[in-house]
Amino acid sequence: MHIVGNVVVALVALAHVYFLALEMFFWTKPLGLRTFGMTQDFANATAVLAANQGLYNGFLAAGLVWALLDARRGFALKLFFLACIIIAGVYGGVTAKTTILYVQALPAAVGLLVVVLAGRSPPR
């Protein structure tokens, strides 16, 4: 179960690296425009805000990677960063776009559930 939890945590981290790239580097490009359904003018006007948001997603990914690498504090770090992602995903889903619930909050919630079920005991 520990391996499954770590795989899910790693996938959530990778998703947030992807979000970082979309928001920091591709926001005004065709991929970003298509992904977020924006006009070029809107994307240009909000690019700095999106880059800031992307940076935060990068920090969340870094926190999950730290959690995967820190044998002593990894369990608590996973709980903290996954909970942060769930809260951000629910907030984004309620205030911005419903799909954020499924793309961000749901995978983190699955990860949190698996990590909790795996428990605090070290893997065998």
Q: What pLDDT score does 124 carry?
A: 55
Over the stretch 44-63, which tens digit does the pLDDT of each residue have?
999 999 999 999 999 999 99
Over the stretch 53-111, which tens digit does the pLDDT of each residue have?
999 999 999 999 999 999 899 999 999 999 999 999 999 999 999 999 999 999 999 99
Neighbours of 36 (CB within 10 A): 17
Q: What pLDDT score does 1 carry?
A: 83
d(CA 92, CA 40): 22
